[in-house]
Structure 1
């Protein structure tokens, strides 16, 4: 992966052209960085895409085997230089029981018609005591139609993890009221259909406000998670012994 492509996922700068993606990408990077001390051994990246976090995880954790898994490749241009190590059908993982030490699924569960079954399947291939790290969107446009299935609340995500046999779940909101407004403004400016000239004018008008909102944001925690807006969530959980 080129350095420019990696910058779309890791170390993305905030500017007028990135105000739609900046918060979600930095939130995912922040969640994975926080998980690094708990990752080790064989690691499964569920829904790996072009594996933008592979180098970061191999260098920053005790992971010594990185396995990228995704649906069969159908975008030759996108996967020109990197392909998943194994493929799956979106439900069954072609690996033996207890064959990896830890796993992650970034921005995957919203695409799963049966998320509980997918989490149970991830748990099946994990060794007891291993950690799973997840990220899911909350305030995000419909995408990858018709395969955009769900948006989760923190409570639903924690319940799904418990139901799949995971314990010690820590579910965190990635952003609060201010980041939510900033993200919506950025998405509207950068993605609403409009003439290019109008978009250019609007993105430079909106950028100072979006930057201010992102910088002053505070994500809600615990008892604060009621009657609030959040942008997305991350979760860390451990497979029961």
Structure 2
């Protein structure tokens, strides 16, 4: 997953890239019927194309699943039968749920025996204006949630180190502050933020600073 100039125009480029790269490494865990919980516009359909047989996109009412069979529903009470899925994908959804513990239990419920959960959740992210942005997660907390749901073979991997995390935060903060606060031209702000993102990305690729992470990637199996 390369950092290009087009990527650098996006103030959240590092966050998206490290998450996509981590998911790509776990692609071969997916199989059969995949349920994408909180799918939105279903941005990961291409990544798993050819790996799974079918994707069902589940979205909270008001969202807009773009591909696959769309279901409206709550991640904490999924409208699917027990053991219906071979794979559950959940990308950056837990933080918006009042009861993430219940959501993990639901993911485990709808998985067939031997089925896999592939999930990402943020550790470091700036304050959101969304009223339902409730949580940030640490490694022990995610492991506890998965274990309490009855899952095993739990593997948790950091997505991006400290350079990626704080480079991303600085870029995002400057982007909104300089455009909305000071009214600077968007093209100028993109150059400044793009430079920050490029340096942060290179430092992250060099392995500098692994003490903190932007996101966690969790994979687990229903026994």
TM-score normalised by the shorter chain: which range applies? 0.7 to 0.9
For the residues of structure 1 that align with 2:181 and 2:110, how far apart are their CA atoms? 47
What is the DSSP-based 3-state SS (H/G/I as helix, E as strand, rest coil) of the residue aligned with 2:133? coil
| Alignment-derived partner of residue 140 in structure 2 | 155
Picking from 25, 47, 53, the partner of 1:64 is: 53
Report the CA distance between 1:73 and its aligned residue.
Answer: 2.4
- CA separation of 1:219/1:68 partners in 2, compared to 1, >3 Å: closer, same or farther? farther
| Alignment-derived partner of residue 86 in structure 2 | 101
Any idea what the Cα deviations from partners look like across 1:124-143, whole Å, max 9, x if unmatched? 01001111001112221233
- CA separation of 1:50/1:164 partners in 2, compared to 1, >3 Å: closer, same or farther? same
User: Number of paired residues?
Assistant: 218
Picking from 194, 201, 207, the partner of 1:214 is: 201
Report the CA distance between 1:55 and its aligned residue.
Answer: 2.5
Query: What stretches of structure 1 of length at least 5 have no aligned partner?
Result: 1-9
For the residues of structure 2 that align with 1:91 and 1:11, how far apart are their CA atoms? 35
What is the DSSP-based 3-state SS (H/G/I as helix, E as strand, rest coil) of the residue aligned with 2:137? coil
Give TM-score scaled by structure 2 length: 0.87
- CA separation of 1:131/1:216 partners in 2, compared to 1, >3 Å: closer, same or farther? same
Task: Say what the alpha-carbon RMSD is for the aligned residues.
Answer: 2.4
What is the DSSP-based 3-state SS (H/G/I as helix, E as strand, rest coil) of the residue aligned with 2:33? strand
- Does the CA-based 8 Å contact 1:73-1:83 persist in structure 2? no
Give TM-score scaled by structure 1 length: 0.81
- Does the CA-based 8 Å contact 1:97-1:125 persist in structure 2? yes
| Alignment-derived partner of residue 165 in structure 2 | 180
